[in-house]
């Protein structure tokens, strides 16, 4: 096999490993939220089993990336793909951690009288959709989809603050809810962190495709891809 064909095969393998890891994370969040909603701790082992696979892929993908850099010295767009993969890998691993946190807190909650879930199911739905779309954007190099992920993060932040305020009021009016309300606050913060990581992935996709680093608001998301306003691509294109 030629060096170029080895390289293409390795890049395909890298993309495929990222998407496999992303799929595991999506499933973990789904199960963790189901565990909370249905007070069903029997879902925990399936989640921790997938965490082990996510952690294995975390190490494997970093090694794939370093091997690609060492063997093929990629440039321009290929280099940006490898750099994006390193970052997406780290975000996915943290998403897996957050899903486990949701599930573990859900197990504590399942021993207590049920309380209303408020916006938590909506936060979960939004976070999973953002993750799924950020991974689709990575797979299809779809800048518009990545931009739509970034735009949705404000709604998740708003839901997190609203949930926090509602649960604090509930604790203040009824002390018997304190333990459960605290746990729900932790769960809503885990979900908001998942949405943050999906946003990071979307930003990495934009950098990978366009060579534009839009983090920290240096390019407003609505200006992304607009050549008249955007900075020139970095590291070639």
Give the binding site for its own copies (CB under 8 A): 55-56, 58-59, 62-63, 65-67, 69-70, 73, 75-76, 79-80, 83, 86-87, 90, 168, 171-172, 175, 178-179, 182, 185, 213, 215-216, 218, 234-236
92 close to 22: Cβ distance less than 8 angstroms: yes
202 close to 134: Cβ distance less than 8 angstroms: yes
| C-beta of 218 vs 227, nearer to its own copies | 218
| C-beta of 147 vs 180, nearer to its own copies | 180
In the complex, least distance from residue 179 CB atom to its own copies, rounded to whole angstroms: 7
In the complex, least distance from residue 236 CB atom to its own copies, rounded to whole angstroms: 7
* CA distances for 220 relative to 71, 130, 151, 171, 225, angstroms: 36, 19, 10, 39, 10
| C-beta of 218 vs 220, nearer to its own copies | 218
In the complex, least distance from residue 214 CB atom to its own copies, rounded to whole angstroms: 10
Q: How far apart are CA 146 and CA 136, in angstroms?
A: 9
* HSE-CB for 181 with a 13 A CA cutoff: 16
| C-beta of 42 vs 71, nearer to its own copies | 71
| C-beta of 3 vs 144, nearer to its own copies | 3
In the complex, least distance from residue 132 CB atom to its own copies, rounded to whole angstroms: 23
Residue 222: CB atoms within 10 A of its CB come to 11
Q: For residue 150, what are its two tokens? A: 């970034």
User: Which residue, 62, 21, 35, 29, is CA-closest to 193?
Assistant: 29
In the complex, least distance from residue 38 CB atom to its own copies, rounded to whole angstroms: 25
Q: For residue 65, what are its two tokens? A: 């990336």
């Amino acid at each position: 096999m030629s060096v170029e064909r080895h390289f293409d095969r390795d890049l395909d393998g890298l993309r495929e490993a990222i998407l496999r890891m992303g799929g595991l994370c999506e499933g973990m969040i789904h199960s963790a939220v189901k565990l909370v909603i249905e007070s069903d701790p029997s879902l925990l082992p399936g989640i921790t089993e997938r965490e082990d696979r996510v952690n294995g892929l975390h190490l494997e993908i970093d090694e794939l990336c370093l091997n690609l850099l060492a063997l093929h010295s990629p440039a321009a767009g290929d280099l940006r793909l490898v750099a994006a993969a390193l970052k997406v890998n780290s975000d996915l691993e943290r998403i897996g951690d957050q899903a486990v946190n949701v599930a573990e807190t859900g197990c504590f909650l399942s021993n207590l009288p049920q309380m209303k879930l408020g916006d938590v199911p909506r936060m979960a739905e939004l976070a999973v959709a953002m993750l799924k779309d950020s991974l689709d954007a990575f797979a299809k190099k779809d800048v518009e989809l990545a931009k739509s992920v970034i735009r949705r993060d404000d709604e998740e932040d708003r839901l997190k603050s609203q949930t926090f305020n509602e649960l604090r009021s509930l604790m203040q009016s009824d002390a018997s809810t304190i333990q459960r309300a605290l746990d729900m606050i932790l769960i809503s913060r885990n979900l908001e962190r998942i949405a943050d990581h999906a946003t990071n992935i979307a930003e990495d996709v934009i950098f990978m495709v366009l060579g534009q680093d839009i983090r920290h608001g240096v390019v407003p998301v609505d200006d992304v891809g607009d050549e008249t306003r955007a900075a020139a691509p970095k590291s070639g294109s």
